[in-house]
Amino acid sequence: MDILRRNTDYALRVMINLAKHHRKQSVSTRQMAEQEGISYQLACKLMQKLHNAELVESCMGPKGGFQLSKKPSRISLLQIVRVIQGPINLNRCLLSADACPLRPKCAVSKKLAGLQNYIDSFLGSITLKELSHNKQAVRKSKGR
């Protein structure tokens, strides 16, 4: 089971692509799809979700396309993940305090909650700025 879905992986790659072009130029959906190895139709759907979440803005005209709506340092992986696939939940018992009647006394639930907090914190600490300047991460994403 993948924790990050394929669409989420594609959205992360597209957002890193936009971060590399931040304040320089808009990038068309078609151009991003080609550069990141994503179908144009899927790229359009992802851009629509990211636009609705106000993480990207569209620019009209002959040199139109998309740009980040915020500085790359203000957009985390966690934000993108939540827009595309919703929150990452390790187990249903972590969804709410009343999701499982055994939760208050469950040792496993407490450990999973700690791991859940770590995952959310870790993904929340990684920004597009960090990834757009990391040549190894960029090379790795293009190899997929």
Q: Looking at the 3D structure of the chain, how many domains does it have?
A: 1
pLDDT of 54 reads 97
- Report pLDDT digits (tens) over 34-65: 999 999 999 999 999 999 999 999 988 777 89
* Mean pLDDT score, 20-31: 92
CATH code: domain of residue 27: 1.10.10.10
Contacts of 81 (CB under 8 A, 6+ apart): 4, 8, 12, 87, 88, 123
In a domain, residue 76? The reply is yes
In a domain, residue 102? The reply is no
What is the pairing mode between strands 56-59 and 65-68? Answer: antiparallel
DSSP letters, 70-103, are: S-GGG-BHHHHHHHHH----S-GGGS-TTS-TTG
Contacts of 71 (CB under 8 A, 6+ apart): 22, 129
pLDDT of 135 reads 54
Instruction: Give the Cα separation of 141 and 131 in Å (integer).
Output: 11
Query: 29: alpha, beta or left, given left = phi > 0 and alpha = psi -120 to 50?
Result: alpha
In a domain, residue 14? The reply is yes
In a domain, residue 32? The reply is yes
Instruction: Give the Cα separation of 97 and 12 in Å (integer).
Output: 31
In a domain, residue 43? The reply is yes
In a domain, residue 24? The reply is yes
pLDDT of 118 reads 96
Query: Which of the two residues, 142 and 96, has the higher pLDDT score?
Result: 96
In a domain, residue 44? The reply is yes
Q: Model's pTM, two decimal places?
A: 0.85
pLDDT > 50? residue 12: yes
In a domain, residue 117? The reply is no
Beta bridge partners of 58: 66
What range does the domain containing 64 cover? 6-87+127-142
- Report pLDDT digits (tens) over 93-140: 888 878 888 888 888 988 998 999 999 999 999 999 999 987 544 444
pLDDT of 141 reads 45
